[in-house]
Amino acid sequence: MGRELATQERRKERLDRGIKVRTEGIYAVSSWQEVTYLVLPRLVLIVGLLLLPLLMPSLYWNRVISIVGIYALLALGFDFLAHFVGLVSLGGAFFIGVGGYTAAILNKSLGLPPALTIPMATIGGAIICTLLLLPALPLRGVYFAIVTLMYPLALTRIIEALNIFGGTDGILGVASFPNRWVEQYLIILIVIFALFGLRRLVNEDIGLVFRGIKDNDQAVRASGLSITLYKAIAVFIASGLGSLGGAYLSHIYMWSGISQFALDFSVIPIAATVIGGGGTLVGPLLGCFFLVPLSEFLRAFGTLRIVIYALILMGFIMYRSEGIMVYAQRKYHQFQRWVKV
């Protein structure tokens, strides 16, 4: 009885910090304190990413950083599709595989250097993925998730059955990057560019349309806009990011094969997004920096690591579905205090 009363008498109130309100307009530039408040989080992220290869100079960790970058691209694409357009993709491996094979084929059969194959695989892979996913786009509901789940599994079977693209051996001898610094800094710059590019995009007019499709597609239709077209644009962007990662992966390992359609590429981006905080775009990136090194530590356990991701994923989605970044942003922008009711 006494406890009940106590909880009724006061509750937590959440208010924006004064500095947050002051930095919303152009007058933020009027004081150093406010400029710092705005720039610091972004600066920490960018500088941190750029310093990472220097802080971890061993060959092994260099490779891990590149892999984290690839997963980060996938996770950004997933977050963008799921939380800004309302399409849940269960097949990150599909984007990786298509991009990886495209880059490897361009490199091996036409002899193009990585500087050409990566952009071509990005655009080409995005076109292929968008065309293949097009049937599911005019529909609402779980169809998109189902179709993206099926493509990686089906493409693996097709490649095995027809014995095309090197069959089960894959395509060997793909050209590599000139040196490991280029390999790492290129992917880090791409990730930073993709992150801030997407953030800009979702705040433009087209981002408003995307969110409209997620929240109320009939309203978008009533405005005379084609939902399928906008969904296709969003899928093109996300699959382009994935294909870019896939092309990068092929060139890093100098190999492309059916293991690029493996489940890891589908599960880790989803888990990273849920842990990091969906809808923030930065969250998935941080989630990848936590999950991918964990995956490296767990490599000895084989498929147990997929079990661990799946369990982390379930735990977060059931009990802490806001994720780390949403929590951190709230702490940064707002304060709490007890008030009497």
Partner 1 sequence: MDILIYGIINSFSLALMAIGFTLVYGISRLPNFAHGALYVVTGFGVWWFLNKLHLNYIVAILLALVLMGLVGAAIYRFVLIRVRGMATSEIIATYALGLAVLEGLRWGGFRGMTYTLPVFIEGSINIGGIPVDLQRIIVVGIGIVVVTFMWLFTHFNKTGLALRGMAQDEHAAMMLGIDSDWMAVIAMAMGSILAGLSAIALLPLGNIVVEAGYNVLILSIAVCIVGGLGSWVGAIIAAFMIGFLQIITVAYIQSHFHMVVALLAIIITLILKPSGLFGKQKELEERV
Residue-wise burial string across 214-226, b where 16 or more C-beta atoms lie within 10 A, e elsewhere = beebeebeeeeee
In angstroms, what is the minimal distance from the CB of 293 to partner 1? 20
Nearer to partner 1, 53 or 92 (CB): 92
Nearer to partner 1, 320 or 333 (CB): 320
In angstroms, what is the minimal distance from the CB of 236 to partner 1? 18
CA distance 98 to 129: 7
Nearer to partner 1, 248 or 261 (CB): 261
Nearer to partner 1, 15 or 153 (CB): 153
- The SS3 call for residue 88 is coil
Site for partner 1, rule CB under 8 A: 82, 86, 88, 90, 135-136, 138-143, 145-147, 149-151, 153-154, 157-158, 160-161, 217-218, 221, 227-228, 263, 267, 270-271, 274, 301-304, 306-307, 309-311, 313-314, 317-319, 321
Tokens 């382009």 locate to: 240
In angstroms, what is the minimal distance from the CB of 309 to partner 1? 8
Write phi, then psi, for 255 (nearest 5 degrees).
-160, 150
In terms of Cβ atoms closer than 10 Å to its own Cβ (0-12, 13-18, 19+), residue 250 is buried
In angstroms, what is the minimal distance from the CB of 217 to partner 1? 5
- In one-letter notation, the amino acid at residue 57 is P
CA distance 240 to 282: 19
DSSP state, residue 278: T
Nearer to partner 1, 74 or 187 (CB): 74
In angstroms, what is the minimal distance from the CB of 134 to partner 1? 9
In angstroms, what is the minimal distance from the CB of 83 to partner 1? 8
Measured between alpha carbons, how far is residue 212 from residues 113, 139, 141 in Å?
A: 41, 15, 16
Nearer to partner 1, 86 or 114 (CB): 86
